[in-house]
A and B are shown apart, each in its own frame.
Chain A
Amino acid sequence: MKTLAELAEIREKMKGKVALREGSNETRIVVGMATCGIAAGARPVLGAFVEKVAQKGLGDRVTVTQTGCIGMCRLEPIAEVFEPGKERVTYVMVTPEMVDRILDEHLKGGKPVWEFTIGAQEKQGE
């Protein structure tokens, strides 16, 4: 059984590490979690980002956050990547299966996954 005492152990282990996460120069992945996003399947997408950022050792420079309606409900779930000094990249109709490639190719490799972006989506619609 999980006990509250285990949280005290986590606290002990984390001592001194917390300050590191407060840096303002870090990369943010923002997932839209308004009614439109949730209904379109944003919760498992957010969950995949949170889990895999930690798994892939990106946790010290990438934070995953939630936001409200981004304004393009038909393209939800939407995830936006904000990197310091770079242009924002907007991924649309994101599924949990897409998260690995976004993290590996974009956040680690520095090259956005073009076919998942809003730019690719709009081109297709023309």
Chain B
Amino acid sequence: MKDLSLHILDIAQNSIHAGAKLVEITIKESETRLTLTVRDDGCGMDAELLVQAQSPFGTTRTTRKVGLGLPLLRQAAEQADGAFSVESVPGAGTSVYASYDTGHIDALPLGDLAETVVTLLQGSPDLDFAFIHSWDTPTACEAALDTREMREMLGEIPLDTPEVLLWAKEALTEQYNLR
């Protein structure tokens, strides 16, 4: 995984697979620190599965025996003076946290976060996504997109309509351009 945006796309697939209705993706950047939270209201994991999910030698996929999504994010965070944890409640949902020092030489670049959000909308138009990325420098601001607000305006029009995806991409890109 080359950047944070690709990790987020990958981690969010777990939430989709867990049957989540809402996936909240929050990135907070202070001057030196980045904190990522991916929280879902999916089926959650019991203690045993939670341990297995964090091991590269555990997976729910049926095509092979390794699952690298969470271990790769953990490695990426820890190599940049970071921290990583997963909390889960069976039947209620799962939260994945990762944080790292943005000034560290091995810190992940952000990547194209707008494209990640659009890819999630395209792949799971029936789910809701709440994305908020806030930063302190140079001035405090944020880029955000909430599909619940979009749906209110769109009614029966699906989120994966090309015109809607283009709108989402442009809306987020515009907010990032203000940085």
Q: Which residues of A contact B (CB under 8 A)?
A: 1-2, 4-8, 10-11, 13-14, 18, 33-36, 38-39, 43-44, 46-47, 50-51, 54, 59, 64-66, 68-71, 73
Contact = CB atoms under 8 A, between A and B. Distances in A.
Interface in B152-167: 152-158, 161-165, 167
Contact of B13 (A6, A13, A68): A68
Contacts of A71: 63-64
A81 B19 CA distance: 26
A64 B162 CA distance: 11
Interface of B: 1, 6, 9-10, 13, 17, 61, 63-64, 67-69, 72, 115-116, 118-119, 122-123, 149-150, 152-158, 161-165, 167, 170-171, 174
A7 B167 contact: yes
Contact of A11 (B118, B154, B171): B154
Given A11-B153, A35-B69, A68-B61, 15 more contacts: A2-B170, A4-B149, A4-B152, A5-B153, A7-B154, A10-B157, A10-B167, A11-B157, A14-B163, A18-B157, A33-B9, A34-B61, A47-B115, A54-B162, A69-B64
A38 B63 contact: no
Contacts of B156: 11, 18
A5 to B, nearest CB: 7
B67 A35 contact: yes
Contacts of A34: 10, 13, 61
B161 A14 contact: yes
Contacts of A38: 1, 6, 9-10
A2 B167 contact: yes
28 contacts: A2-B170, A2-B174, A4-B149, A5-B153, A7-B150, A7-B167, A10-B157, A10-B163, A10-B167, A11-B153, A14-B157, A18-B161, A33-B9, A33-B119, A34-B61, A35-B10, A35-B68, A36-B68, A38-B1, A38-B9, A39-B1, A39-B10, A43-B115, A43-B116, A47-B115, A50-B162, A66-B122, A68-B61
B74 to A, nearest CB: 13
A59 B122 contact: no
B153 A43 contact: no
A14 B6 CA distance: 31
A46 B153 contact: no
A124 B111 CA distance: 34
A13 B64 CA distance: 45
A4 B61 contact: no
